[in-house]
């Protein structure tokens, strides 16, 4: 079983730095692994442990993302891929999904592609489903658990639970397939001493735009159909706030 | 100008009403699947036409059909309700159509050139971004239920003709196996009073206090993204851009700093009370009443007051 887990580094704080074109200046902001991606990786590692195969972690980001990839190798991933090219910067969700798809194909395809259901910075939840749509393979978003059925010789199928507003829908599909997982579905295992030793000298597979044979107008800011034209700190709808004590508030009868 | 509203959740009526407001002269098409019940409601909320496409119990196949329908209808914009199902369909269809999609918009309007101006909290949820998709069509956006005010239906004719669209046949991607209804549905959206806790309440035990207060008020218990991400309470309680957008009569925020992504989910409340020991917390800019004090002492005072009132009655 070949498993690809797409991960993202996100700013640790909400105090972010923006460039002139309103893209995130990632080098100036402390970064950590996106929370939902931890679930995706742990479920990928657990499936590999049960069924055999490999787990490849892949991220699109600056060269400094290598540190995070090494940490994920120490936590049990088998291979790490960094999609790194100045031309990838400023990508919206479609341009990101196109870049991930090009890398997916370049790496020879996978049986399973796992992602977090959304990143805590952009919070769109679009990249996973867009990647699946470009690959034209089944996808379940907002998943909380996954089981692989591999009964006597028949093709492997995936059973997967999707968290909806009013309950849990279980789906079944053939592989290859994409799934995006919710935060807290699984807690990511800790690095092991042996893992740390391997991760320290492991090769991080770096792929650039020419490696992916991706035209410049299909990726990064240039390949993004959406464009941020303005950013403001305060949303509309300010209210006149009357500061008072809880006793004064209760005396007004606001709580009945 | 033509705007398609993809009617895959009840809140589609809010989007039809919004489309009417931002583009009075536009043609508003309600794109429905055959599974939808009362199509007339869409006309009553302002749609000019209903286009009906086949229903599939397979979100991937449904998304492909929606993309095909949008390809044929060639609208300038397509709006989706941002439920789990709706946002999946929007992403799947946008990739098929190779066009831009903005998730969880909190504002939609038109620029002078007639482009769809999409507003959403961005960059970690503490800034508001305005986004355009100038060179690709349709301009696609999803909007959470409750972000726009509910539609006010008008009287309309009984027999609205449905237009059927001939579409490609699609393969099956996903097979439904079972549905388990949730035992713990948090009635945030219908609640008249919402009591919300943020990171400032310090941990799981804080929500026990707020739960007691919410119970005494007959309200629902909400939480900020920070409190949910910390694992203190379930996602079903999350209020904000990527949680639930609420419009209660009374909203009480305890230990909430007031990030843009949270404001997006509660600023439709009639009256807002904020409790925070930081007098500079941004939440006070979006509150009608502000109490600068310890959240727990304030909540406990409120609980005592409500219990005493109950005994008096």
DSSP-assigned states of every residue in A86-137? GGGTT--HHHHHHHHHHHHHHTT--SEEEEES--TTT----HHHHHHHHHT-
Asked if A30 has any chain B CB less than 8 Å from its own CB, the reply is no
Q: Residue A155: pLDDT band by 50, 70, 90 thresholds?
A: confident
- Taking an 8 Å cut-off on Cβ atoms, the answer to whether A137 and B173 are in contact is yes
| CB-based contact A130 B128, cutoff 8 Å | no
Out of B99, B136, B286, whose CB is closest to A238?
A: B286
Which residues in chain B touch residue A249, judged by CB atoms under 8 angstroms apart?
A: 273, 289, 291
Instruction: Please answer whether residues B71 and B123 qualify as being in contact, where contact means their C-beta atoms are separated by less than 8 angstroms.
Output: no
pLDDT beyond 90 at B266: yes
Question: What is the DSSP code (8-state) at residue B150?
Answer: P
Q: Do the beta carbons of residue B193 and residue B287 sit within 8 Å?
A: no
- Judging contacts by C-beta atoms under 8 Å, the chain B residues touching residue A180 are none
DSSP label of B270? S
Q: Kindly state the DSSP code that residue A19 receives in the 8-state scheme.
A: -
Q: Which residue of B has its CA nearest to A245?
A: B291
- Decide if B95 and A134 are in contact by the 8 Å CB cutoff: yes
Query: Both tokens of residue A199?
Result: 């991760």
Q: How many residues does chain A have?
A: 256
Measured between CA atoms, the residue of chain B closest to residue A159 is B177
Facing A228 at nearest CB: one of B63, B129, B176:
B129
Alpha helix (H) ranges present in A107-245?
127-135, 193-201, 209-212
Task: Give pLDDT tens digits for B54-111.
Answer: 999 999 999 999 999 999 999 999 999 999 999 999 999 999 999 999 999 989 999 9
Residues in A closer than 8 angstroms to B287, CB to CB, are 239, 241
CA angle A239, A242, A243 (to 5 degrees): 125
Name the nearest CA neighbour of A4 among A140, A132, A110: A110
Total residues belonging to chain B: 313
Q: How many CB pairs under 8 A join A and B?
A: 249
**ipTM topping 0.85:** yes
How many CB atoms lie under 10 A from the CB of residue B131? 23
- Mutate which: B105, B123, B143, B231, vs A, most A CBs within 10 A: B123
Q: Are A75 and A41 in contact (CB under 8 A)?
A: yes
Residue reference for tokens 């009013």: A166
Q: Is the pLDDT of residue A185 over 80?
A: yes
Torsional class of B146: left (φ above 0), alpha (ψ -120 to 50), beta (otherwise): left
pLDDT at A84 over 70: yes
Q: Is B266 exposed, middle or buried (0-12, 13-18, 19+ CB in 10 A)?
A: buried
Report the percentage of chain B scoring pLDDT > 70.
Answer: 97
**A229 contacts B235? CB cut-off 8 A:** no
Rounded Cα gap, residues A113 and A111, in angstroms: 7
Cα–Cα distance measured from residue B53 to residue B69, given in angstroms and rounded to the nearest whole number: 8
Q: Of A71-75, A162-166, A235-239, B225-229, where does mean pLDDT reach its minimum?
A: A235-239
Helices and strands: H and E segment counts in chain A? 7, 13
Q: How far apart are CA A125 and CA A109, in angstroms?
A: 22
Name the pTM for this structure.
0.90
Chain B residue with Cα closest to A34: B229
Residue in chain B closest to A256 (alpha carbons) equals B306
Task: Kindly state the tokens that stand for B254.
Answer: 């305890």
Percent with pLDDT over 90 in chain B: 72
Average pLDDT over residues A178-197: 93
Q: Is A138 on the interface with B (CB under 8 A)?
A: yes
User: Containing H/E element for B212?
Assistant: helix B204-217
Residues of A in contact with B175 (CB under 8 A): 171-173
Chain A residues with beta carbon closer than 8 angstroms to that of B135: 225
A106 CA: distance to closest CA in chain B (Å): 20
pLDDT tier at B34, thresholds 50, 70, 90: confident
Distances (CA, A) of B43 to A55, B47, B163: 51, 4, 13
Question: What number of H helices and E strands is found in chain B?
Answer: 8, 16
Chain B residues near residue A239 by CB distance under 8 angstroms: 272, 285-288
**A255 touches B at CB < 8 Å:** yes
Q: Which residues of B79-114 are buried (b: 16+ CB within 10 A; e: fewer)?
A: bbbbbbbbbbbbbbbbbbbebbbbbbbbbbebeeee
The C-alpha atoms of residue B186 and residue A232 are separated, in whole angstroms, by 32
pLDDT above 90 (res A172): yes
Question: In angstroms, what separates the C-alpha of A55 from chain B's closest C-alpha?
Answer: 24
**A174-178, B94-98, B195-199, B240-244: least confident range:** B240-244
Which candidate from A124, A236, A250 shows the least CB-CB separation from B305?
A250
Asked if A141 contacts B86 with a C-beta cutoff of 8 angstroms, the reply is: no
Contact B84 A171 (CB under 8 A): no
Q: What are φ and ψ of residue B78, in 5° steps?
A: -135, 125
**Would the CB atoms of A159 and B273 count as touching at under 8 Å?**
no
């Amino acid at each position: 079983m070949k498993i690809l887990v797409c991960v993202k580094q996100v700013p640790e704080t909400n105090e972010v730095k923006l460039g002139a074109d309103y893209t995130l200046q990632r080098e100036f902001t402390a970064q950590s692994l996106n929370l939902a991606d931890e679930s995706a990786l742990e479920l990928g590692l657990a499936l590999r442990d049960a069924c055999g195969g490999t787990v490849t972690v892949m991220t699109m980001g600056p060269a400094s993302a290598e540190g995070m990839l090494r940490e994920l190798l120490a936590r049990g991933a088998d291979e790490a891929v960094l999609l790194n090219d100045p031309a990838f910067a400023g990508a919206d969700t479609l341009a990101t999904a196109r870049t991930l798809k090009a890398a997916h194909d370049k790496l020879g395809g996978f049986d399973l592609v796992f992602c977090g259901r959304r990143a805590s910075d952009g919070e769109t939840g679009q990249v996973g489903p867009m990647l699946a749509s470009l690959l034209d393979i089944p996808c379940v978003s907002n998943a909380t658990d996954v089981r692989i059925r591999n009964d006597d010789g028949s093709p492997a199928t995936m059973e997967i639970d999707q968290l909806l507003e009013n309950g849990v829908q279980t789906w079944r599909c053939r592989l290859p397939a994409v799934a995006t997982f919710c935060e807290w579905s699984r807690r990511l295992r800790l690095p092991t001493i042996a893992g740390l030793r391997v991760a320290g000298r492991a090769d991080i597979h770096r792929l650039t735009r020419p490696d992916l044979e991706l035209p410049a107008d299909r990726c990064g800011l240039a390949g993004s159909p959406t464009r941020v034209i303005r950013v403001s700190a305060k949303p509309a709808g300010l209210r006149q706030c009357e500061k008072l004590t809880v006793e004064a508030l209760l005396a007004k009868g606001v709580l009945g | 100008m033509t705007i398609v509203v993809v009617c895959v959740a009840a809140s589609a009526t809010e989007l039809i009403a919004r489309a009417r407001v931002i583009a009075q002269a536009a043609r508003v098409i309600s794109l429905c699947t055959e599974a939808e019940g009362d199509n007339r409601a869409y006309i009553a909320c302002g749609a000019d036409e209903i286009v009906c496409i086949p229903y599939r119990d397979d979100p991937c196949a449904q998304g492909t059909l929606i993309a095909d329908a949008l390809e044929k209808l060639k609208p300038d914009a397509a709006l989706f309700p941002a439920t789990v199902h709706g946002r999946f369909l929007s992403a799947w269809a946008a990739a098929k159509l190779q066009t831009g999609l903005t998730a969880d918009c909190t504002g939609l309007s038109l620029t002078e050139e007639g482009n769809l101006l999409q507003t959403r909290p961005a960059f970690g949820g503490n800034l508001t971004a305005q986004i355009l998709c100038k060179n690709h069509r349709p301009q696609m956006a999803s909007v959470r239920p409750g972000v726009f005010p509910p539609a006010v239906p008008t009287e309309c004719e009984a027999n609205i003709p449905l237009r059927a669209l001939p579409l490609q046949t699609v393969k099956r991607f996903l097979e439904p196996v079972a549905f388990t209804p949730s035992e713990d549905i948090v009635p945030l959206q219908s609640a008249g009073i919402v009591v919300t806790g943020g990171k400032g309440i310090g941990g799981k035990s804080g929500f026990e206090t707020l739960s007691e207060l919410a119970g005494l008020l007959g309200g629902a218990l909400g939480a900020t993204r920070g409190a949910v991400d910390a694992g203190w309470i379930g996602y079903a309680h999350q209020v904000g851009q990527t949680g639930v957008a609420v419009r209660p009569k009374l909203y009480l925020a305890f230990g909430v700093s007031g990030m843009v992504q949270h404001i997006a989910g509660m600023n439709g409340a009639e009256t807002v009370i904020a409790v925070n020991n930081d007098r500079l917390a941004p939440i006070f800019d979006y509150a009608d009443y502000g109490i600068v004090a310890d959240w727990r002492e304030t909540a406990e005072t409120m609980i005592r007051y409500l219990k005493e009132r109950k005994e008096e009655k």
